[in-house]
Structure 1
Amino acid sequence: MVDIMIKKEKRNAEAVSPVVGVMLMLVVTIIIASVVSAFSGGLVSNTQVAPQASIDVQVDTSADTTMGGTDYKMTFSLLSGDSIQTKNIAIVTYYENSSGHIYKNKQTATSNATDLYQYGTLTRVPFINDAKYGYAGDNPSVDFGNYTWSTGDVLSTGNIRGTAALLGLNVAESGDISDPDFGSGSVVDVKVLHVPSGQYIFDKEVIVK
């Protein structure tokens, strides 16, 4: 009789061991899942959301200078949507000429400024074209990266030198774009990147007029 009871207890102990093992595995799995969930939740809550905006970009080789002439000019118009702090965005441009040479540029709030008018006054393009901020040229308040871009605001490269600087092109001593392929009909890939979120606010191919 004693032997029978010992055998039953042994069988019961053997049956309990796998159950305990499974329960321990479940507990460990639940703990790991909780940690991963908490970590993922933290990542989501810390991720910045890109502004939602409708943007129009134009590249014009015969833009009116309002002084009786024409010039190369690139403009960015915020048609509607959220206001955008330009310190948080980068403008990425990509142009390939007929021989396969690639011009690529990334303009940020820390990019070099340009002497647009050859007066020794510097402006980081595209500047905000609004009289309330003052005029471009040694006026940091209009420089890209230093202002908030709101609905109705137009950003401009000003002239051929500013346009070349934004597109990564060069201006010859003659005052023309040094790449003879670039002109009306050229296609430039333009992206506006919201750096904190890593998302593009604008991403289109723009045909030069």
Structure 2
Amino acid sequence: MTPFKKNPDAVSPVVGVMLMLTLVIILAAVISGFAGGIAGSSNSGSLIEITAQTKIINSGNNDTSRFEIDIISVNDPVSTKDLKLKTSWKSYDDAGNLVLHENSSMPGTKNFNYIKSGVSPIGAGPGLPQWDGTYENISTNMSFGNYAIMAGTKMVAYPSTYYLNGEYTDNQYTDCMQAILGEGWNNLSSGDVVNVMLIHVPSGRIIYDEDVNVNLT
């Protein structure tokens, strides 16, 4: 019988085990990174876990119509300077064609100019004044991009006093509702659906995504 000869070019068992361990560690890191994409990252690098509820009410009049995101819980306060608010909804034009309406609110980019100019949605709640829709009472720290969201924060928009009976009597201004939902938002009626997203800009991750039914009250 011919005896087996040692092959000096073969990989030793120790090196083989080390290579396999390295491969396992790399795969685990890739899987962990993929799973982390489910939620956004806060400024500290931890995953953002947010629970919120959105209301969109179109009663036809300025005093009872509103857009409101109520932040129920969030694991860490998140500055709105790192967020983008995006809304989208569909309607049909006079010719029966389907039209997609998309609108985004970016921190620091003024999007309303009624009485005061600023960035909608307006912040209210912890550390901020409550807002009743009176535009004279909007302060700089209430503009989107200048406040942080935490449990109890409300992100709010009301139409201007020119909004009556489902129509605008003066179209020279853009109010907070138009800034968020677009100029044709007043055509939204009960049962229509608006998609609302909060996007964490530094990570590009969607931290809140909800289809919201429009109500009359």
Question: Which interval holds the TM-score relative to the shorter structure?
Answer: 0.5 to 0.7
Give yes or no for the alignment of 1:51 onto 2:48: yes
> Unpaired segments of 5 or more residues in structure 2?
161-174
Q: CA deviation at 1:186?
A: 1.7
| Between structures 1 and 2, the one with greater helix share | 1
Given that 1:125 and 1:166 are in contact with CA atoms closer than 8 Å, whether structure 2 keeps it comes out as yes
Matched ranges for 1:127-146 at <5 A: 127-130=122-125, 133=128, 139-146=139-146
Given that 1:128 and 1:142 are in contact with CA atoms closer than 8 Å, whether structure 2 keeps it comes out as yes
TM-score norm. by structure 2 comes to: 0.65
TM-score norm. by structure 1 comes to: 0.67
Q: 1:203 aligns with which of 195, 209, 212?
A: 209
> Unpaired segments of 5 or more residues in structure 1?
1-7, 171-176
Seq. identity, %: 17
- Structure 1, residues 148-192: CA drift from partner, whole Å, max 9, x if none? 11212211113252112112x22xxxxxx4x67423332101122
- Structure 1, residues 51-77: CA drift from partner, whole Å, max 9, x if none? 22221101111288xxxx635321111
Instruction: State the number of aligned residues.
Output: 180
Q: CA deviation at 1:90?
A: 1.9
- Structure 1, residues 7-58: CA drift from partner, whole Å, max 9, x if none? x8xx76xx323xx33317984894596388469749859x744322221101
Query: Which fold has the larger relative contact order, with Cα–Cα distance below 8 Å and residues 6 or more apart in sequence?
Result: 2
- RMSD of the alignment, in Å? 3.6
Q: 1:183 aligns with which of 178, 184, 189?
A: 189
149-158 or 82-91: bigger deviation = 82-91
Given that 1:63 and 1:70 are in contact with CA atoms closer than 8 Å, whether structure 2 keeps it comes out as no
Partner residue, 1:122: 117
Q: Which has the larger radius of gyration?
A: 1
Give the 3-state SS of the residue equivalent to 2:141 in structure 1: helix
Structure 1 pair 203–132 and aligned structure 2 pair: CA distance change class (3 A): closer
Given that 1:85 and 1:149 are in contact with CA atoms closer than 8 Å, whether structure 2 keeps it comes out as yes
Partner residue, 2:11: 23
